[in-house]
Structure 1
Amino acid sequence: LLIAKSEFSRQKHQQFGLKKEMTVLPYFLPDIDAASLPEPAQHDRPYFLFVGRLEKIKGLQDVFPAFDKYEDADLLILGDGEYSEELKALAAGNERIKFLGRKNLDELNAYYRGALGLIVPSVCYETFGIILIESFRLGTPVIARRLGPFPEIVQGADAGALFETEVDLIRAMTTIQTDETWRARHGTLARQGFESTWREDRVLAAYGVELAEAAHRRGDLELAQAFEAGAFENGPA
C-alpha cells in the first residue's frame, strides 16, 4: 500500500516514473474542544496571518509588496528561520508588517481565530500544507498560492481564495476584509471541510479501510478482519 498525501503528490510520483498505484490519504489533525479554545488574539488593527518557517521557499518575500499597497490591515508573521533577517530587512519601513516569532499552540490558535485570513505564499511544491487545515479547523479562510496541492485543498473545501499575482492577492484580501458575508460563508465551509475531510478520526478510519483491503489482497483474513473492526484507529481489542 503506497500512500500519497495529496492528489498533486500522487500525480507527481507518476510523472517521475512510479508505476505502482498510490492511494491518497491526507494529513489530519485532532479536533479542538470548543470549550477549551482561547479567545481570538487582540491586535489594534485587522490582520492577515502568516504561519511557518521563515525560509525563502515559503515565499513571504513576495507578499511584502502587496502590503506596501494594501493599507487596511496588518500582516502578522508567526515563526522563525534562517531567512528571518533578510525578510526583516525587506520589510523595513512598513510598520504594518510585524514579526512576532514562534508561538505556543494556544497562542497560535488565538491568532488563527483573530485573523481575517491565513496567507500561504509558498513558491515550492509541497506534499500537502498542514497549516491550511490548522486554519480550517478554526474556521479561518485561506489565501494560498495557486501551486502544488494548495488548489485541491482550498477549492475542495471552498474555503478561501487562490492567487498567482500581486493583483490577485490584493483582490482576495480586499474581498475577505470588506465582504463579511463572503468571509463568514468561506470560514464556515473551512470548518465543515476540516470536519469532513481532515479530522483525525475520519482519516484514521479511512486508513483502516485501505489497510483492510490491502490485507485481503495478501490473503490475510485475520488481519483484514481486525482492521475492519477498527484495530487501526482504535487499537487492538
Structure 2
Amino acid sequence: MNILVANWTWFPSGGDWTYIENVTKLYEKNGHQVIPFSMQDERNFPTAYQKYFISNINYKNLNLNKKLTAGFKVLSKSIYSKEAQQCLENLLNTVDIQLAHLNLINHYITPSILKILKQKNIPIIWTLHDYTAICPESTFISNDKICEACKGGKFYNAILNKCKKNSLLPSIAASAENYVHHLNGYYKDVDHFICPSVFSYEKYKSFHFFEDKLHHLYHGYDFNGNINIQPLQKAGEKYIVYVGRLEKIKGVHTLIKAMKANPGIPLKIIGYGTQEEELKKFVAENQLTNIEFTGKKSKEEVWTLINQAAFLVCPSEWYEVLGFTIVEAMLLGKPVIGSNIGAIPETVIDNQTGLLFNPGDETELANKINKLFNDDALIAKLAGNARIHADNLFNPQKHFEGLKKIIPAL
C-alpha cells in the first residue's frame, strides 16, 4: 500500500527523524511505498514529492521580529494551515494513499490536515513524539520545573505561568493552539495514537486523552543496518560522554557540577544549544580541565565517540518520551547513568543496564559516575545487559508486528 508519512522535516532533525528513517525502511522492507509530506527545506533528502511540501517556516526569524503583526503570523501559522491542507489535497489527488502515519506536525504542518485525510476516508495513526497535545509547552516544563497545571484542558495556565520561553506572546500562542485544536475536534479524526514508551502512554492516559485510541509500542531501530563507526582505538584515553542539546531541561548543568567532584574523569560533551556559552563560562570559571565541548558532530562521529567511551550519561530533568541517545548507546553495548524520570527507567534498569540517580542531584550523580568509572567489571556486566535489553526492546520486526496489530491491512 501507499503510506503517507508526515513529519515537519525530511532531514535528520533529532529523535523524530531517527524514527522516521527506521519506520520508512521497515514499511519498504515489507513491500509498502512511503510517500513523504513535509516542509520545504534545502536540507531535505531529495524526493519526487517535494513539490507538494508546504513552504518553509522559520519561526526563529519570526520570533526575532518583535512587531505584533509578526506575533500574529506565528500564532496563525502554528494553529491552522490552509496551505498545508491545499498541498496535501493536491498530493492526495495525485497519489492513492491507503494509510497516513503522522509524526511531529504541530506548529508547522498543523493538525488542520486531519480533516482532509478524514474526508478521503484514509486511516490515520499518529506517533506521539512529544506532549504537545496535552501540554502547550510540549515538555511539561514551566520556568525550569515540572508542571502539569494544564491537566483537564486548563491550557490558560500556560499563559498565567508564561510557560513558553518565559514570554507572554509565545505562551498565548501555545495556549491558543491547544484550545483551537481540541475545540475543533481535530484529534477525534485520528484512529490510533502510538506512544513510544510506557511512561508517555500512562501520562496521556492520565490526562484522559482518547484512552481507547492509545497504544504503547516501542520504536523499532535497525541499528546494525544504519551503523557506520570507526574501529575502536587500541589505546586511548578513558572517558565518559554526554550527547544531546545543551538546554536546561537536559540537565547538562547538573552533570558539569557533578564533574567538579571527579576532576580525574574526562567528559566529552557532544551537541549544541542555547546554554552552550553559559556552560562553557561555568567550566572556565571553575577551571574544569576534564570537560571538553566537541560541538555538533555527524551521526557516525557520535557513534564512534560513544563506542570508545566507558559509558554515557543522560541527566535529563524533563519527562523524556524515550531517549534515542540512550538506545543508541545501549545498542553499542554501553551502560548508561540516567536520571530517574520519564521513560529513562524503562531502558536504564538500575544495577542491570546502568545506574539511576535522582534528577538534579549533582552529588548523587557524582558518586554514581565515580563508582562506575572505577569499576571495569561492573562496566562490562552492565554493558552486556544493556545490549541485550535494547536489542529486545527496539527490535524492528517486533515494532512492525505491533503496527500490524493496530492496522491489520499492513
Deviation, structure 1 residue 14: 1.9
2:400 to 188, 204, 209: 204
2:306 to 100, 112, 124: 112
1:63 to 206, 230, 255: 255
Amino acid at match of 1:155: I
| CA spacing shift, 1:89–1:28, aligned 2, 3 Å | farther
Cα pair 1:151 1:162 within 8 Å, conserved? yes
CA distance in 2, matches of 1:35, 1:62: 30
CA distance in 1, matches of 2:382, 2:226: 19
Amino acid at match of 2:249: I
Q: Which residue of structure 2 lines up, in the alignment, with residue 47 of structure 1?
A: 239
Amino acid at match of 1:174: N
Amino acid at match of 1:85: E
TM-score (norm 1): 0.82
Deviation, structure 1 residue 168: 2.2
CA distance in 1, matches of 2:242, 2:327: 14
With CA pairs under 8 Å and 6+ residues apart, which has the higher RCO, 1 or 2?
Answer: 1
Q: Which secondary structure does the structure 2 equivalent of 1:155 belong to?
A: coil
Deviation, structure 1 residue 44: 5.4
CA distance in 1, matches of 2:227, 2:198: 34
Deviation, structure 1 residue 205: 2.6
2:343 to 141, 149, 174: 149
| CA spacing shift, 1:189–1:157, aligned 2, 3 Å | farther
The number of residues matched between the two structures is 214
1:85 aligns with 2:281: no
Amino acid at match of 2:300: D
Cα pair 1:78 1:102 within 8 Å, conserved? yes
Cα pair 2:264 2:290 within 8 Å, conserved? no
Cα pair 2:347 2:390 within 8 Å, conserved? no
Q: Look at both structures and tell me which one has the larger radius of gyration over its CA atoms.
A: 2
Deviates more, 1:173-182 or 1:82-91: 173-182
CA distance in 1, matches of 2:354, 2:291: 22
Which of the two has greater helix per residue?
A: 1
CA distance in 2, matches of 1:20, 1:153: 24
Cα pair 1:41 1:111 within 8 Å, conserved? no
| CA spacing shift, 1:89–1:208, aligned 2, 3 Å | same
1:83-131 per-residue CA deviation (whole Å, 9 max, x = no partner) reads: 1111111111211111001111221111111111111111111211111
Deviation, structure 1 residue 63: 1.1
TM-score (norm 2): 0.49
- Unaligned residue ranges in structure 1 (runs of 5+): 213-222, 228-237
